[in-house]
Each structure stands twice: as C-alpha cells, then as structure tokens.
Structure 1
Amino acid sequence: MDIQSTLEIDIVQAIAELYPGHTGVVQLTPTKKEFEGQYTFVTFPYTKILRLAPAQIGQAIGTWLVENSAVASAFNVVQGFLNISVADSFWIEKLNDIVADPAFGTLPAKGQSVMVEFSSPNTNKPLHLGHLRNNFLGDSVSRILAANGYDVVKTCIVNDRGIHICKSMLAYQMFGTDASGHAETPESSGMKGDHLIGKYYVLFDKAYKAQVEEMVAQGTAKEEAEKTAPLMLEVQQMLRLWEQGDPETKALWSQLNAWVYDGFAVTYKSIGVSFDKTYYESNTYLLGKEIVDDGLEKGVFYRKDDGSVWIDLTEAGLDQKLVLRGDGTSVYMTQDLGTTALKFQDFHSDRQIWVVGNEQDYHFNALFAILRQLGKEYANELVHLSYGMVDLPTGKMKSREGTVVDADDLIQETIDAASTAADDAAKGKLADFSEVEKKTLFQMLGLGALKYYLLKVDPQKRMQFNPAESVDLHGNTGPYIQYVHARIKSILRKAAEMNIVLDGAVSAAQLDNVEQQLVFLLSQYPQRVDEAGAAYAPSHIAQYAYELAKTFNQFYDKLSILKETDVVTLHARLVLSKAVGETIRKAMGLLGIEVPEKM
C-alpha cells in the first residue's frame, strides 16, 4: 500500500476514535509548496457535523497521527487545512521501491485498445506550425495512453482528394511548365515535394482572387463571383473528372501526391513521429457513400430536390447536415463516415480518438451524432481531442496566402536557436564535443524546445508560439529539463570515476526537506501519468517534469552530493539523483522528447 493510502486509513481511524460515531471518506491532496508537509487533509467539511472549529479538528487529528501513525512525523494547521509531514523511514522505503521497479510509472495492462488518429495533412501543402502541435499532441497522447496500460494504435488520415487538392493540380497545369516545355519537379526546383505543391496552391489562390476582383469590378456580386469564377468552375470540373476516374486527371493527381508524400516522410522522420497505419481519403470516401446509401434506405438520411443528401440532427442539438452533394461528389463528412467504419473494421478498437483543432468541434459533434443515429456499434466510444490553434506574433496563419510558418523551416530555426543558446551557456564546455556530437545535441535540444513549448500548454487553450522563449535554458522549457538530466548524468559519471557503486538499498536515517520533496515527487509519477491519460493532456506530464527538474536543482544547490563525507548519506543522495534522472527521462519520453547524456 502506498503512503497516501496508508495515511488516509490512519485519518479514518483517528476520526473514529476522536469523534465516535462519525465516519466519512477521506481524501488527501499534495500540500501547497509554500507550506511545510507533503499531504493535506481539509477539515472544513467536518465543522458542521462535529460543531467544532476547523483548526481545532485539524489540531486534534494531527496530534493523534503523530502519536499513533507510523507514517506521520509532524503536522501544522493553517485554518481548516491539516498539513502532514511523512516520516523519513517511509520516504526511504518508497525510494527503494521506486529504484527496484524498472517499470515504475507504467500502469498495469487494461486489456483495452485505443486508436489515436492525428496529423491529417492535406496533399496540397507542407506541414506547418499547426500541424506540429497536432503531431506532437497525437504522438504524446499515444505514448501516455500506452503507459496507462492501453494497447494503442496510431493512425493518420491523409486528405488526398477534394476541391483543395484540385486547386494545386489546376495551378500546376497552368503554371508548372516553362517556355521550353519543361515541367517543374522537386529535383529541378531543389524543393521538397510538399513545398513545391504548396507553392502552386498559393498561386491558384492569387489567380482566383484576381478573377473574383475583376468580376466584382464589372458588376458581379462578390458571393456570385466567388461561385462562378472560371477557375472555380474548372476546379469543380476537375474534381468530377477525378471521381469519374479520368486517366489524365488521375495520373496528374498520383504524380503530385507522390512528391508530397516524399516530403512528408522527411518531416515525420525529423520530428520522430510514425504511424501504425495510414488511411487515404481517396480510398475511404466510396465506403462513406455506401454508408450514405444504406442510411437513405433506412430513412436516417433524406434527399433534397437538387439531389443532395442530408440528415436532421436537431434532436442532438445541432441542425441539418449535408452528407453528399447534389452532383454526387462527397464532402468531408462522407469521407469520415467511411474512414471511421474502416478503422473499426481493421482494428476493432474499444475507443477511437481524433486529434483535430477546435475549429472542427461542430464537425465531430455531427459525425458522432450521425453514427449514433445509424446505430453503429462503435458510436459511443468516440472522442474528439479538440485543441486550440497556434498563433504567431503577427497573427493567425493562412495557408492560401502563403503566410504559414512552414514546419521544416521552424524546426531548423529552433535547432539553430538552441545551438546558439547552448553555446552561450556552455562557455567553452562543448569544446570536447565532435561536430557530429554537437549536431546531435543541438537537434535534440531544438526538437525538445519545440515539442515542450507546444505541449506544456493545456491542449484546449489557444497559444502563441515564441521561439526565443522555447530555447531558454533557465525557464520552464524543454532545454532546461534536458540540462538537468545531463547534470545528473555528469554526477553519476563522476561517482563511477570515484569507484562508487550504487547497489543495495538506501538506509539513510535522516532526510532534508528538499530530499523528502524529491521522493514525494517521484512517488507522484504514476498518478500524474494516470491523470494525463484520463485528460488526454501531455501538459500534465510537462508540468511534472519541470517540477521534478526544478526541485532537483534546489537539492543540488542546497546539499553536497559528491563532497559528502558520510558514506550512507552519499549513497542515498546518488541513488536519489539516479532515480530523478531516470524519471525525467521517462516523463520526457512520454512527450516524445529525448534527453542528452551530457551538455
């Protein structure tokens, strides 16, 4: 039984003995940092029952615990809060338990499977800053759920068809060949394939807007001009040709998509993200159409006079939702109906999670409502992990206008910034690093800075990315935590050079407050993993890693480690340091962040 559970049982017994006839559920919370103690019991709920002042109740229970509990060593009362300090012997026992368990922090298998879908790129542009938050969230949530004992499958749906894809295709037909008849390719342009196709998406938007402006200037209403501009009509015709299987249209689509996939693969590898299976909208939208046809037969959907197919979701608190256009072409909902069915068919997951920005909240509410009305067996275990957008200091990103922050560029800029920050902080200590070692370190720091900055904020909150803050070695950042891990590794290397062997149980009889706090934080790790999994919030793990790293630095500054002359105390502090380093590594690993051995 853990320390908290033991204390809770002791408090129940204290209440029973001090106030006969009174029982209740006892819950402890971690004591706030400004007060002494590790666990806090709130006495306010008992004031009416016992007709005593909250501080009086706390004083009585605290005194009983110190006299009768083997766990409590001291207490203090602040109004209705009883703050309890735990005896050193229990912290030492807990530390020994943590060190002896290689799987500490990984919770027992639950016998349930969870599918996490994330990334969802379009094949008309490269990944950007928003995609990075999406990928980091999806990857980290997958890792956290696996640590919570779930069997996790990571999937990606590629939006490789539709009007937006045809815009890039049409622009490439119009502008992709020079006067000599040479078509631009990734090789001829020196650009990654996804960057090249993104360029044509921007070119389409510029040409389309010019047509709309010209039509408006000639007297056409703007809304009408946007619908009837020649380029828009051509794009719609190209989509119809694609769905009809036109060979020339399909060949162009295949070539451009292949270039984009090659570009995506480079980016995914650079950020350390992978998928167990990738789905393509071009393969799932037809299944979605079949589901729509089946729903029509069952009366779940209805057809309007223009041939379009809809569903009434008013009973679910929504409205009328289009599921198929009048010309027979599919919409996003069509594809998602098909993909959801196919994913369940492939894996029979107990739960499906979509990591998608909060601008799609309505879409997923509608998707889940439709699946429930269709009576799908998987309809009640669907989760939309909705997250806030990432803004730039200059405002919101707009991919059609080419104002997005390209993921590849941002990654490199952050790596460059991290290398500068590390060089400045090292003050010559990197001189013994080879160029390969420096490059590896700077990439680790840069990606750590980027991932941590985007993950430390609660997923539901909108955020602004600040590159300069992300690489700071002194704040709540990835590089700060990475540096603490490297510091611990340095201490352990020096201990090994001194022929100090870290084996056997810790037996120190007295711990400093900061040592108690470190062991307490270590003991909290499984609980933090559980909380992060329940909330789908990597920010819980990020905050924990920062707290642990910051507390270790306080320990390092306050107490001697390698200069300690008492052998038992030296051994205890080194074992504690090693446990902290290992837990930092595990926690950062749940964020998809590597930690260096030296800096």
Structure 2
Amino acid sequence: MNIEQHIVTATIAAVKQLYDQDIPENQINLQDTRTEFEGQITIVVFPVVRFSKKSPEVTANDLGEYLVANVPDITAFNVIKGFLNLTVADSYWINLFNNELLNPSFGSIKPNGQKVMVEYSSPNTNKPLHLGHVRNNLLGYSVAELLKADGYEVIKVNLVNDRGIHICKSMLAWQKWGNGETPESAFLKGDHLVGKYYVIFDKEYKKEIEALKAEGQTEEEAKKNAPLIIEAQKMLQDWEAGDAEVIDLWKKMNGWVYDGFAVTYKNLGVDFDKYYYESNTYLLGKGTVDEGLEKGVFFKKPDGSVWIDLTADGLDQKLVLRADGTSVYITQDLGTAQMKHDDFKMDQSLYVVGNEQDYHFKVLFLILEKLGKSWAKGMHHLSYGMVDLPSGKMKSREGTVVDADDLIAEMVTTAKQKTEVLGKVNNFSEEEKEALYSQIGLGALKYFLLKVEPKKRLLFDPSESIDFQGNTGPFIQYTHARIKSLLTKGSYIATQAPDVAITATELEMIMLLAKYPSEISAAAKAYSPATLANYLYEVAKMFNKFYHEVPPIVKEENAALKQHRLNLSAVTAEILKKGMNILGITVPERM
C-alpha cells in the first residue's frame, strides 16, 4: 500500500474515531502540496467538515494530530485554512525509490483484459501524405502506444480510401498525359507521381470549365459538362462494373501509391496491424439499412430513399440510402463499423479524424446505438485541430499543402544545421551524424505536434521546434544523452543506497518520477499524448535543476551518496526513454 492509500485509510479511521461518522472514500481529496508550503501531500478538508461539524481549521488540526500519531511515515503537519499539509518522512521516499522505482519493471502496467482498436491515417490514394496527415499519424500511433502501456490489447488499423472519383481523376490524367511514365522513370516516389497527375487533371479541368463559361454556360453547368469530369465519372462506372482494363490501371497506380506511403510511414515511425480498403467496404452497410428499417429506426420517403430522424436528439434528418439504392458515406461507415467489430470484438473503437468530421461521428455513433449495437458505447472520435505553418515558411510543389516527405526532409536538414553550430558531433562518424540528425529532426517534429492537446489548432514552426532549451523534443533528448554520459563516466551499476540524506530537490525528483505510472494512465484515459509529453518535460527540467545544484556526481567521495545520485539519474533516463518511445520518439545515447 502506498502512502496516499495509507493516508486515505487512516483519514477514514480518524473520522470514525473522532466524530463517530462513516465518510465515503470518494470524499477524501488528496493533492500535491503547493511548493510555497511545507509538506508533500495535502488533504482538502472542506468535504470532511460536514462530518466533523467543526470549522475547517479545527477539523484539519484534529486530522493532522491523528495522522502523525497513527501513520508512522507522517512526521509533521501544518494547516492553511481548509488545507492540511502533511510531511512524509524522507525514509519513506528513499525506500519507495529503492524498492519500486529502481526495479527494472517500474512503470509496467499489467494487462487489463480490455481490447481497443485505434483507426488512424486513412489516406486517399490520389496524392501524397501532407502535414495534416502527419498530425493524424503521430497522434494515432502515440495514443495506441499509450493504451498499450496502460494495459490494453491494441489493434492499429488503417482504412484506406482507395476508390472514388478522386482516384479516377489521377488515373485519367495519367492515361492522357503520362506517356507511360513510372516512378522509376520519373525518379519520383509513387505517391508523388500519382499526385502530380491529380494536379494536372485539376488544371486541365479548370481550363475546360473556363472555355465552357466563355460559350455562355454557368459555372455549375460548366463543371458538370466539362468533358474531363464526364470521362472520369465514366471511368468510375467502369471500375464499379469490373472493367478489366480500368481495374488493371487502378491496381497499378494504387500499387505505386502504397509503395510511396510505406516509405513515409517508415520515416515517421508508425505502423499498422490491419489495413481495410474502401474498395472492399463501400458496398457494406446496406444490410444495416435493412435491419434499421425492420426495427423502425429508419424510414423510407416516397421516392424510395431511406432516412433517420435525429431531430429529437438535437441533430437533423440524415440520409442513409439514396433513392437509387446507392450508399452514402454514413452507410458505408455503419457497415465497416459492424465488420470491424465482427473481426476483433473490441471493447473500444477509437477514430482519429480531424474536427471537421465531428458531426459525422456524432451521427454515426448515435445511429449504431439506436440500432441496439451494445458495442457502440465504446466508440470514440478523437477529434483534432488543424496544423498551420507560419506564412512563407514552407511551400509544397503545388503551393497548397505541405508535403509530409518534404517536411521530414526539412526537419532533418534543420537539425543538422543547428547541431553543427553547437559543435557537439565533431567526434561522430558520418553514419552516426546522419542517424542523430534524423533522431533530432523527427523528435522535434513529433514532440511539437504531440505536446499540444489534440483538440487545439496549432501553429508549427520547424525552426522553433528544434531548440535545445525549453519545452522541445531536442531538450529532452539532450537531457537523456547527458545522463547516459554521466552514467558511463561514473561506471554505473544499479545497487540500492538506502542510508543517505537527500536534498529538497532530490525529494521532488523522487516524487515526480514516482508519478510515471499514474501519468501513463491519465494520458491513456484522456487519449492525450500531450499529458505525457509535458510530464516528460517536467522530468527533464527537474533533472537539470538537480544536476546543477549538486556537486559533480562522479567526483562525489561519499560512496553511498554517489550511488544514490547515479541511481536517480539512471531512473530519470529510463523514464525519459520509455515515455518518449510511447510518443514514437527515440532518444540518443549521446549527443
């Protein structure tokens, strides 16, 4: 039992003995003591007052005297208004550090028997991944790793949007203007090549629209009547009819894109356990529509279209099947949700999708609940905000969105420039340097995007993110490397050092490091890597404070004190490494 549980149990006993009242455990509120007051753990006394029938100050004094007398590790107390600040003996923290934190398994959380699916990335196969996809992928991957660290069995899923009119636009443009070009002949990644033809289609389509407008058509008429869009629609119809030539072209060009995506995913350090493809799922959901009609959840309009009325739930009427019997997005998503649950029987299903789809997911989850799907309660939309860049910082080839591959390359280049200026890699081989620049550049990118709460829109400045001071990935990476260097110089071997006197900062460090498992659980519960990222920054900051306050550790003559401080350093490094790995960030052994 840890000290917090001891205090809760003892407080319940105190209320019973002092006031002859039974207080529920959830009425006992513990907090960290504020830094300006003496103590480490604070009891908020106000909820206890209704049981004591005394003032907060008197109640706090009663409880303080009882706890000092009955809990061996509580050595003193002080009262600030309705707050009881408790001082815990240094020996408790040293024992906790030696017996729990120094154990190699510290921070490992047992499996909880729950299964969760995290669906992220979900790209279209008509263009490369861009900055928005980068946030999506990093968020999805890190949330999946967080849940795994918190004891869940996790399935990472990518639902690829590999069909539709947008794919046909790239295919048609390549057919017309590609001259047999391939990724090899063009020296381009496959996703970039296909994206190039999507842009060509758009330019040629706009020319046709302008020509038709010049002949007197309205913009809407011109958009519908342009020969290119008519051809693209015909190609989609041929694809749906199984036309062999169209299917072969589709397979070839999608193959190029998948090869390109694989490189980007590898560079980003993300992975998936299962891929679903819209080409296999777009017809799903019609059975769900029939089920909804039978149950009276859906209704048919006179034209044969099928709807659900959600006005009583504060939403609107939603189309689930067109009059001609074709699906809409929600139909497909209903069917895919059922298929995924049939495949994996997960307890929770998490969709990592931008906040422009907030309404869509409200409707999707509500429909599934109304259909009586018991598992719908476990569905959650992890909504996130857009990523902006400072104006003029980066331009894509098309001048619209920032390409993920270009962004990764720029981050590595910036890391190289900033690291070389510091002159810290002069004794590194070229291979070691390149690996380090990649670690720093990607670490900076990932940390900057993950340290902000998912729901917030954020402004990403590549240069600002690569700073070896402040709340950045490189600062935490550098702290880890500094500790590893210290441990090497100190010929470190893990051994307990129980009988030492600790400084106030060392006590703070032990308390902060001890929170690691609860920080993992809190971040997992909130689906928020930002919670973990900012905790790791506090750990790195605390180590640097400790490092500058104590005399040089490797020169310390008191063997027990030297061992203890090396132990503190080693546990800090391990927590930084484990925590950053959950965020998808590797930490260098030296910098």
TM-score (ref. length: structure 2): 0.92
Give the direction of change, closer, same or farther, for the CA distance of 1:288–1:398 in structure 2 (3 Å limit): farther
Q: Corresponding residue for 1:201?
A: 198
Query: 1:460-513 CA distances to partner (integer Å, 9 max, x unpaired)?
Result: 1111111112111101011111111111111110111xxx5432x221342111
Give the direction of change, closer, same or farther, for the CA distance of 1:47–1:27 in structure 2 (3 Å limit): closer
Query: Residue 405 of structure 1: which of 378, 382, 402 is its match?
Result: 402
Aligned equivalents of 1:265, 1:537: Cα separation in 2: 26
Q: Corresponding residue for 1:3?
A: 3
Give the direction of change, closer, same or farther, for the CA distance of 1:165–1:396 in structure 2 (3 Å limit): farther
Alignment of 1:326-345 (within 5 A): 326=323, 328-345=325-342
In the alignment, is the contact (CA less than 8 A) between 1:205 and 1:400 conserved in 2? no
Query: Residue 594 of structure 1: which of 566, 574, 586 is its match?
Result: 586
Residue type matched to 2:546 in 1?
Answer: F
Residue 377 of structure 1 and its aligned partner are, at CA, apart by 4.4
Q: Aligned to 1:121, what secondary structure does the other structure show?
A: coil
In the alignment, is the contact (CA less than 8 A) between 1:482 and 1:596 conserved in 2? yes
Aligned equivalents of 1:403, 1:101: Cα separation in 2: 51
Aligned equivalents of 2:23, 2:301: Cα separation in 1: 64
Query: 1:234-259 CA distances to partner (integer Å, 9 max, x unpaired)?
Result: 33222222111122221221111010
In the alignment, is the contact (CA less than 8 A) between 1:159 and 1:280 conserved in 2? yes
User: Are positions 1:515 and 2:506 aligned together?
Assistant: yes
Q: Aligned to 1:430, what secondary structure does the other structure show?
A: coil
Aligned equivalents of 2:420, 2:81: Cα separation in 1: 50
Query: Residue 473 of structure 1: which of 468, 474, 490 is its match?
Result: 468
Residue 11 of structure 1 and its aligned partner are, at CA, apart by 3.3
Residue type matched to 1:536 in 2?
Answer: Y
Give the direction of change, closer, same or farther, for the CA distance of 1:89–1:233 in structure 2 (3 Å limit): same
In the alignment, is the contact (CA less than 8 A) between 1:243 and 1:329 conserved in 2? no
Q: Corresponding residue for 2:29?
A: 27
Residue 19 of structure 1 and its aligned partner are, at CA, apart by 4.6
RMSD, matched Cα: 2.6
Query: Residue 539 of structure 1: which of 530, 534, 538 is its match?
Result: 530
Aligned equivalents of 1:106, 1:11: Cα separation in 2: 30
Give the direction of change, closer, same or farther, for the CA distance of 1:313–1:146 in structure 2 (3 Å limit): same
In the alignment, is the contact (CA less than 8 A) between 1:98 and 1:579 conserved in 2? no
Residue type matched to 2:408 in 1?
Answer: I
Gaps of 5+ in 2: none
Q: Corresponding residue for 2:355?
A: 358
Q: Corresponding residue for 1:318?
A: 315
Query: 1:187-215 CA distances to partner (integer Å, 9 max, x unpaired)?
Result: 12111011111122222223333444444
Q: Aligned to 1:596, what secondary structure does the other structure show?
A: coil
User: Are positions 1:525 and 2:520 aligned together?
Assistant: no
The total of aligned residue pairs comes to 588
In the alignment, is the contact (CA less than 8 A) between 2:102 and 2:571 conserved in 1? no
TM-score (ref. length: structure 1): 0.91
Q: Aligned to 1:432, what secondary structure does the other structure show?
A: coil
Moved more, 401-410 or 430-439: 401-410
Residue 286 of structure 1 and its aligned partner are, at CA, apart by 2.1
In the alignment, is the contact (CA less than 8 A) between 2:6 and 2:71 conserved in 1? no
Residue 265 of structure 1 and its aligned partner are, at CA, apart by 0.4
Aligned equivalents of 2:35, 2:168: Cα separation in 1: 57
Moved more, 478-487 or 7-16: 7-16
Residue 322 of structure 1 and its aligned partner are, at CA, apart by 2.8
Give the direction of change, closer, same or farther, for the CA distance of 1:84–1:412 in structure 2 (3 Å limit): farther
Query: 1:146-178 CA distances to partner (integer Å, 9 max, x unpaired)?
Result: 11111111111000011222222222223323x
Residue type matched to 2:459 in 1?
Answer: Q
In the alignment, is the contact (CA less than 8 A) between 2:77 and 2:85 conserved in 1? yes
Aligned equivalents of 1:398, 1:294: Cα separation in 2: 49
Query: 1:125-145 CA distances to partner (integer Å, 9 max, x unpaired)?
Result: 111111111111111111111
Alignment of 1:127-146 (within 5 A): 127-146=129-148
Aligned equivalents of 1:213, 1:410: Cα separation in 2: 34
Query: Residue 480 of structure 2: which of 482, 485, 491 is its match?
Result: 485
Give the direction of change, closer, same or farther, for the CA distance of 1:531–1:430 in structure 2 (3 Å limit): same
In the alignment, is the contact (CA less than 8 A) between 2:19 and 2:51 conserved in 1? no
Q: Corresponding residue for 2:121?
A: 119
Q: Corresponding residue for 1:180?
A: none
Query: Residue 417 of structure 1: which of 409, 414, 418 is its match?
Result: 414
Gaps of 5+ in 1: 178-182
Residue type matched to 1:482 in 2?
Answer: Q
In the alignment, is the contact (CA less than 8 A) between 1:281 and 1:339 conserved in 2? no
Query: Residue 566 of structure 1: which of 558, 564, 578 is its match?
Result: 558
Q: Corresponding residue for 1:575?
A: 567
